[in-house]
Structure 1
Amino acid sequence: MSEIEPTVSWYYVNPDKSECSQYPFWNKDREQRGTSLQFYIMLIPYQGLYFCTVRYQRRGRMLHFTRSIKVSGIYPERVSKVPTILYPTEHKIFSVRTNSDERLTCRGLLPLILHNSSRKIWWTVDGNTVAELKNRRFSQKNSIVKEDFGDLTMESVLVIEDFQSEDLKREFNCSVWNEQGFLTRRAQLKEDVSLPTVELGCGLGVTLVLMLLLFVVYHVFWLELLLLYRSWFGTDERHTDDKEFDVYISYARNSEEEQFVLSTLRSVLENVLGYSVCIFDRDSLPGGTITDETLSFVARSRRLLVIVSPNYACQGSQALLELKAGIDSMALGGHLKVILVQYKPVQRQSLVRELRRARVALALVRWQGDKSKELTSRFWKRLRVELPLRRISRDEERCNKEAALMRLSSQNSTNSQTGLISNTSKNPQKVFDCAA
């Protein structure tokens, strides 16, 4: 029994400032009346920890004791207290895979009811709870996700180990309950047909490697592939037109290019590849008009082979006439194709106008000296792509190649040139006799 009137003091611990305040507080929303602390208006900042200290005197000694209470705000009773299911929604479909562990998540909002705080969330399988099911493959884990003024957002996860196709026929329901109501929702399942990731990755990797390999092969061997394609599916132009010559060669006379044309280019085209070649100085008849015969030869040829060099196409030369005739024939009828063979590099500004335009639009095959002498070089492959298709037997091709190689190896630089020119002038034979 206290010998004097006991005194009561209230304290509030501010969680934001970590300090303790003694009554009277800084506003009139909270008031101490006697030994009690009354709240007239509950606000969010008023939540926290409160202490009350009682002091009294007994047998001449001052005694005191302290008690604490945690104050939290809740939503008023006029707010709906019926529980709701937040997830899954009504149209939610769970994708599941067989032979794997699956997790079905249910999330519900369960409001606080003052006179009864009991709230539940759970899963049922075919109408039975997980505890009643007694199947180790099924387990349930509940947790509180959020607390908002007493209202709880709770989550229940149903774990299904080694999901089987038969489980798709089961009925999985999520339920929430409190004193104000009950709600349940069925989970809709759909089997997810998974792609074989390992096989798909390996297949994709093999495909990429093959594509890269094909790209490299095409980049390196595109000429060989193009020639192979022409040999299988190409058409011999001799069956589709009435031309007399396959190739008409236009070059600068009395120059180094003339030796290249007569000793190398003509020999391989006629004796190895089997083309009919027209060379004006060799095939023209004496006493004819140069202009008329030149135009006639160009018109009767399928290809015009222009040997581009610094000495070519001077104004007023016969080579320029041949070039103009070929370009006009190609532009008008399309039955003649002009091919440029660069024997030596030429600066563009030193060329005549017709040749400058031709270099922009026409194919250009470059002669690279010793590197191009072999019949398997890139020069001859590139030239064969531009020339008409010729179908000859393997024996004839082998024989022609051997004869051409023997002829090329036995030629001299200057003396053989003179002899070759005189021989070709007297003997216009174009096919080399292998038996000879």
Structure 2
Amino acid sequence: MRYRAVKGEIFMMPCKSWSRVEAPKKENVTEISFAHFKTEATHSGNYTCHTRAGLQLLHLQVVNNTVGCSSVEESRVTLWVGQGGQITCPGHNCSNSTTSVWHKGNRRVSELILRGKEVFENGSLFLHEVSKHDNNVFFCDRVVSERGVNWTIRRSVTVKALEPEKYPPRILSPENNTVQKVELGSSNTLRCEVFFPEADPGVVQWFMNDDGALVNMTMATYREEKLDWGLCIIGKVIIEQTTAHDLDKTYICFTQNKSGNNSSTVYLKKIQWPSLIEYSLAPLLFVTCLGLVVRVKWMEIQLFVKSRWTFHKPELGHKDYDVFLSYVWTRSSTELASSHRRHNNHDGAFPFSLDPLEVNVPSERLELLLPHVLEDQWGYRLCLMDRDFLPGRAYTTAVANAIQRSQLLICLLSADYLSDNNAVFVLESGVQTLLQNAGVKLQLIWINRGPVSLPQLDPPLPVVIEKALKVLPALKWTSGTNTNFWKCLRKAMPHQKLSSLQK
């Protein structure tokens, strides 16, 4: 038997008992069955190994790195109890052998009690449901042939199984103590939009408080929208004909799941129409029209002013990131990124210059180029979702925290971006934060196309995003080297970087 291990990793002897052959000093004693130990260079050598087939000779070779493109992160995986999980064999993409034999502790995975619930694919182990007992060390064996000699490469993955955090539902709209203006005699709709962080939600219900008595209102519309990071439920109640008696009642949207509950209150108020007798017709029409325009365009006015507002310098010291970069991976950009990784040096550096005027990469792949220009060339500190987000945390909370901890949010817009629920949530959260706090700025970058050429999206974009796309400053990335694009982007970046503040 010939085994190869990586120096510094945990190794498991495939024997019931073993001893060192010609070992220096006192290392030739028989060890405990299936011993686990952290490998060192001195462990290379020959061993006698007692297996089910009898006594065999085992040759162990400890090398610095059997597969140079593997990383330390592949040897540690965090999974969440009660959810599915994936364990990837370290360096599986760096060998022609895609078949792996998995062990949990000293037993093969196929021999476990929960057999049939594990799936093997492309060198990875997919767990149907993670349990607290999976908090263990997993080993994967791959067989490679060198000059007619078969070697078994044994790699270890330390799995940490954690209990997921529980979150109560969050009411997105309406806000608590909202006053909704209605017209007597007309039909009015009460709409409650609730986000559940879990795939198994609770309930959404409307109640009417009539002089202290709670009346359960029947919802006319109940719609569910499944998202990758949770579930959004919309409950609607239609008041067919609003009367003066309805104005004296309080309407409550109540939601609850197994982690907690939440509620929001709505009051109805009659629309007060001004009397035309007290004013001349022309000034009244002018004031009314002006008020309507301001009211309709008020959000655009706020976004226009706050997007061009200067950074609040007192808040810079409280920020952890210069830029939170949001984008989506298209199929072509993912294939290009994989191609770069296959042809990379061992240190993971991109095989092209970071100078934006000298790069040699397809121009439409800005999601590949921009992080390296901002972070490695210009020295800004970035927050990237696929790198800096902790696994298992609530997506909405992670996005909100990342925006609050950043000076600038950059969104790379495209048809794929605006069709992705997670990306749209990031953009909508950034716009809402901008409306509330001018200390966070927002920069949009269109990739290859502008908003005019976008297809008709289904479902349509939220109103706040449609308004933001009209007034927020935006740059356009075009084919070829665009010197003016980089100059404009540099002007939009924070003038004072966190690295200089820390100095």
Tell me the TM-score normalized by structure 2. 0.28
The structure with more strand, counted as a fraction of residues: 2
TM-score by length of 1: 0.32
Structure with bigger gyration radius: 1
